[in-house]
Structure 1
Amino acid sequence: MTASASFDVAHIGSVELLTPSFEKSLWFFRDLLAMRVIEERGDSVFLRTWDEYELYTIKLTSSKASGVGRTTFRTTSADALARRVAEIEQLGLGDGWVDGEIGTGPTYMFHDPDGHSMGIYYESERYVAGDDDRPALKNQASAFPGRGVNARRLDHINYLGKDVEANGEFLKTALAMRESERIRLDSGGFAAWWFHFSLKSYDVVYSDDWTKHGNRLHHIAFAADTREDILKAADIFLENGIHIESGPHKHAINQTFFLYVYEPGGNRIEFANAGARLLLDPDQPVVEWSETERKKGQAWGMKTISTFHTHGTPPVAEQ
């Protein structure tokens, strides 16, 4: 049985991606994914997906190496924010309050056991479309771009972790997340662990980092509306010289239709969500997979490509 049917955290607010190829990465997100530049500050550009209700979705920052910077989460209320901050402080991994970035209010910074930088906030400014992107339908945040991949929204983030279980247990307590699926190793630990905030089947994932380096990214994912959108995305990436790592295909875990590519800075990007499960049952049991079951590959039998277990950012040598 689940502990509660309520959630203190609504969703992932934004993700900061680090790139050593800033202009090429900007081209990827702005031109191929049809994301809109909201603001430029120093070495960073803030971009939004077309149906994002907040001001921005990703912060793209020039860096010597690829990887992930700050990930933010929005709570469901001011009281929920206070509860989560108190829990994080009790765990001893809080870093203190800062001013929120574009369109967000006071943000409490913290980190997971692996060192990934995170922030949590409640106050948020809603995006207001202008004359050049006002939607025909008033229940959209802005007009459908009708070009490129048309990334609709940020869907989830998958971190690499030195200790999947330690990081997962932290999320369960700090953010009151629920687990949906996991892979249990024959040795007894977890190879990967999926967590969700509300009715989506997952929002945050931890996968085992074979380098045991810490503070690394496996991928971030953007939601596509249909499988056909993902198939078209593969053609767009092919025509533009973007490395397609795996897919299009269907995951066995959570049943998302997927496509994985590397953006020019080296970060893995997934396009997914089409076909994903909704967890409407408040007492939904956790689905556990064995090593033997996962060796069967993806839903339709395609074996998981080897780089899926070895590529992460920043790239590091085996320790």
Structure 2
Amino acid sequence: MAPPLGDIAHVGHAQLFTPDLDASVAFCTDFLGLTVNGRRGDTVYLRTFDDYEHHSLVLTARDRPGLGRLALRASSEEALHRRVRAVEAAGGTGSWVEDEPGLGRLYVTTDPDGHEHALYWESEHFTAPPESRPALKNQPQAKPDRGVGVRRLDHVNFLAADVLANAEFQEQVLGARPTEQIRLDSGTVAARWLTFTDKSYDVVYTADRTGSRGRLHHIAFATDTREDILRAADLAIDSGVFIETGPHKHAIQQTFFLYVYEPGGNRIELCNPLTRLVLAPDWPLITWTEAERAKGQAWGLKTIESFHTHGTPPVP
């Protein structure tokens, strides 16, 4: 039986590896509109303007792109230790570290596919310096005057060798609720969307067609409006950012989207899901069939081949 919803409060931040750290930082600041909030060696910490924590994204220099750590904030110290006990009761292992600015101890473990998860509670609230202090006291930071100006890190889409095993880790160990999924004619679950909150999804698992483990499909940043997505597309072509697909609307979850690649090779989604919440405590799991998915996205755009083949780190 899945634990009660609420021990994980929200997605905290994600870490991306990049073979071109300077270019990836420039993409995040100039195109996305993030703010640098610290640097340690080959790691740079960045934040969205509406994040209350020290950082929303961590960029670390590595030979190959990919996902490092996904950090999830617990709703209390007690909730954190409940989830740690659940990890270990399920046969998982982890270790305690204190290696990120603005945060206390993190319990680092992995899902069955090997994606690193860090659970934590202690977190300092961000105080804006004078140059980025907002006019409204209930906003952590003034809106940026450059780039898209994304509001928050919205979700992470993992590639996985076994979607169901990893989704059940999120459900049974961490306490997520599944909201939508794709089931193939063979009966295999090819993708599942899950939430820790009243958002329609926070994490996604998609089948890795290469059979590899531990890879990333994309991370996503939320915008205020659909119009911001259209503006982002214009900014992308003006600044040489590669657009993979969109702007368009997904059928699953109804998210308005634009997919681009950052200079290190990781896929980034700009999304506008802000109007869609899952408020029903007994929300039924929506299942999409193979035939339904073959119809493409909400307004008929066909899913392009690279959406099924590109992931990071790349495989031969």
TM range (shorter): over 0.9
For residues 113-192 of structure 1, the aligned pairs below 5 Å read: 113-192=112-191
Which residue does the alignment assign to 1:215? 214
SS at match of 1:140: coil
Measure, in 2, the Cα distance between the counterparts of 1:281 and 1:174: 22
Identity of aligned residues (%): 55
Which residue does the alignment assign to 2:79? 80
Which residue does the alignment assign to 1:230? 229
SS at match of 2:259: strand
Scaled by the length of structure 2, the TM-score of the pair is 0.98
For residues 1-319 of structure 1, the aligned pairs below 5 Å read: 6-274=5-273, 276-317=275-316
Measure, in 2, the Cα distance between the counterparts of 1:161 and 1:120: 20
SS at match of 2:130: coil
Which of 6-15 and 190-199 deviates more? 6-15
After superposition, the CA RMSD in angstroms is: 1.2
SS at match of 1:148: coil
Please say if residues 155 and 273 of structure 1, whose CA atoms lie closer than 8 Å, have aligned partners that are also in contact.
no
Q: Compute the displacement of 1:308 (Å).
A: 0.4
Measure, in 1, the Cα distance between the counterparts of 2:61 and 2:263: 12
Q: Compute the displacement of 1:212 (Å).
A: 1.1
Q: Compute the displacement of 1:5 (Å).
A: 6.3
Cα shift readout 1:44-85 (whole Å, capped 9, x = no counterpart): 100001111000011100100000001110001111111100
Measure, in 2, the Cα distance between the counterparts of 1:223 and 1:69: 20
Q: 1:248 to 1:179 in 2, by over 3 A?
A: same
Measure, in 2, the Cα distance between the counterparts of 1:54 and 1:160: 27
Measure, in 1, the Cα distance between the counterparts of 2:2 and 2:271: 29
Amino acid across the alignment from 2:264: G
SS at match of 1:73: strand
Amino acid across the alignment from 1:137: L
Q: Compute the displacement of 1:303 (Å).
A: 0.4
SS at match of 1:132: helix
SS at match of 2:64: coil
Amino acid across the alignment from 2:91: G
Measure, in 2, the Cα distance between the counterparts of 1:162 and 1:271: 25
Q: Compute the displacement of 1:278 (Å).
A: 0.4
SS at match of 1:114: coil
Q: Compute the displacement of 1:42 (Å).
A: 1.1
Structure 1: gaps (5+ residues): none
Q: Compute the displacement of 1:92 (Å).
A: 2.1
Structure 2: gaps (5+ residues): none
Q: Compute the displacement of 1:93 (Å).
A: 2.1
Q: 1:4 to 1:69 in 2, by over 3 A?
A: closer
Measure, in 2, the Cα distance between the counterparts of 1:106 and 1:279: 31
SS at match of 1:83: helix
Q: Compute the displacement of 1:100 (Å).
A: 4.6
Measure, in 1, the Cα distance between the counterparts of 2:274 and 2:287: 20
Please say if residues 196 and 204 of structure 1, whose CA atoms lie closer than 8 Å, have aligned partners that are also in contact.
yes
Q: Compute the displacement of 1:250 (Å).
A: 0.3
Q: Compute the displacement of 1:151 (Å).
A: 1.1
Count of aligned positions: 316
Measure, in 2, the Cα distance between the counterparts of 1:20 and 1:3: 39
Q: Which runs of 4+ in 1 moved over 3 A?
A: 2-6
SS at match of 1:253: coil
SS at match of 1:279: coil
Measure, in 2, the Cα distance between the counterparts of 1:126 and 1:79: 20
Q: Compute the displacement of 1:276 (Å).
A: 4.9
